[in-house]
């Protein structure tokens, strides 16, 4: 019997996934959480064989939870995600994630994947793996990424400079540099590109 802790912030999806896994004779969902922190607490209490975590969650996301679980109680995680972002896959594998499943995966495969991971294998969606291999590794510096993160929600340069505690000239330079590196015309496009690649 494979004992699982399941985390997804959308109740409907989490419940549906639980129903799906409940159909399998050898899988048992022993706990459900709606955010990463609760998932970690549940896992430390129940000691499941496996954690199935949605990547996009408020507060601690799936990646943060997976890292915790892999370090402390040594519980392997499978991440489920809507957006197949190559950079995120790389970081996830570095943080001890054992399976990476986009939501476009056929439902019938999920149980098999969990069994494989439980048996010690790893699973990575072939599509994402391919794009992660061909993907240009991130050409941006940490500072550039930080400012792109701020730029992502559409504020003015001044607002960004305030949040980052920098002069606006500096902010403009970093963003300009990022824009040239990515070959786009505006910081918004740059921010979107960086997000899509999974660089943050």
Partner DNA sequence: TCGACCACCTGACATTTGTCACGACCGGGC
Partner DNA sequence: GCCCGGTCGTGACAAATGTCAGGTGGTCGA
Smallest gap from Cβ 154 to a second copy, in A, equals 4
Smallest gap from Cβ 77 to a second copy, in A, equals 17
| Using rule CB under 8 A, residue 156 touches a second copy | yes
Strand, coil or helix: what is 75? coil
Question: Measured between alpha carbons, how far is 15 from 122 in angstroms, rounded to an integer?
Answer: 25
Q: Which does 23 bind (CB under 5 to 8 A by kind): a second copy, DNA, none?
A: a second copy
From candidates 1, 45, 82, 127, binder to a second copy by CB under 8 A: 82
In sign, the C-alpha dihedral spanning 178, 192, 58, 33 is: negative
| Using rule CB under 7 A, residue 170 touches DNA | yes
Tokens representing 94?
């570095």
Question: Measured between alpha carbons, how far is 200 from 105 in angstroms, rounded to an integer?
Answer: 23
| Using rule CB under 7 A, residue 137 touches DNA | no
**Where does this chain touch a second copy (CB under 8 A) — which range of 116-124, 132-140, 169-177, 185-193?**
185-193
**Where does this chain touch a second copy (CB under 8 A) — which range of 14-22, 87-95, 138-146, 163-171?**
14-22
**Which residue's structure tokens are 């991971």?**
117
| Using rule CB under 7 A, residue 173 touches DNA | yes
Q: What is the edge-to-edge ordering of all strands in the sheet holding 2-7?
A: 27-33, 2-7, 50-54, 77-81, 97-102, 123-124
Total length of the chain: 200
Q: Which does 101 bind (CB under 5 to 8 A by kind): a second copy, DNA, none?
A: a second copy
Question: Measured between alpha carbons, how far is 75 from 61 in angstroms, rounded to an integer?
Answer: 16
Contacts with DNA by CB under 7 A lie at 141-144, 156-158, 166-170, 172-173, 175-176, 179-180, 185-187
């Amino acid at each position: 019997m494979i004992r699982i802790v399941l985390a997804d912030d959308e109740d409907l999806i989490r419940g549906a996934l639980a129903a799906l896994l409940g159909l399998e004779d050898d899988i048992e969902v022993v706990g459900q959480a709606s955010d990463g922190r609760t998932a970690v607490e549940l896992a430390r209490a129940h000691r499941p064989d496996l954690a199935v975590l949605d990547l996009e969650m408020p507060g601690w996301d799936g990646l943060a939870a997976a890292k915790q679980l892999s370090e402390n109680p040594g519980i392997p995680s499978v991440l489920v995600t809507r957006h197949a972002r190559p950079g995120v896959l790389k970081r996830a594998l570095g943080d001890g994630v054992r399976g990476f499943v986009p939501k476009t995966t056929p439902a019938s495969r999920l149980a098999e994947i969990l069994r494989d991971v439980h048996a010690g294998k790893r699973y990575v969606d072939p599509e994402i793996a391919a794009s992660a291999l061909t993907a240009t590794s991130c050409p941006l510096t940490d500072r550039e990424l930080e400012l792109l993160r701020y730029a992502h929600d559409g504020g003015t340069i001044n607002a960004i400079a305030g949040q980052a505690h920098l002069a606006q000239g500096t902010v403009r330079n970093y963003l300009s540099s990022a824009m040239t590196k990515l070959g786009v015309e505006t910081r918004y496009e740059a921010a979107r590109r960086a997000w899509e690649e999974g660089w943050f």
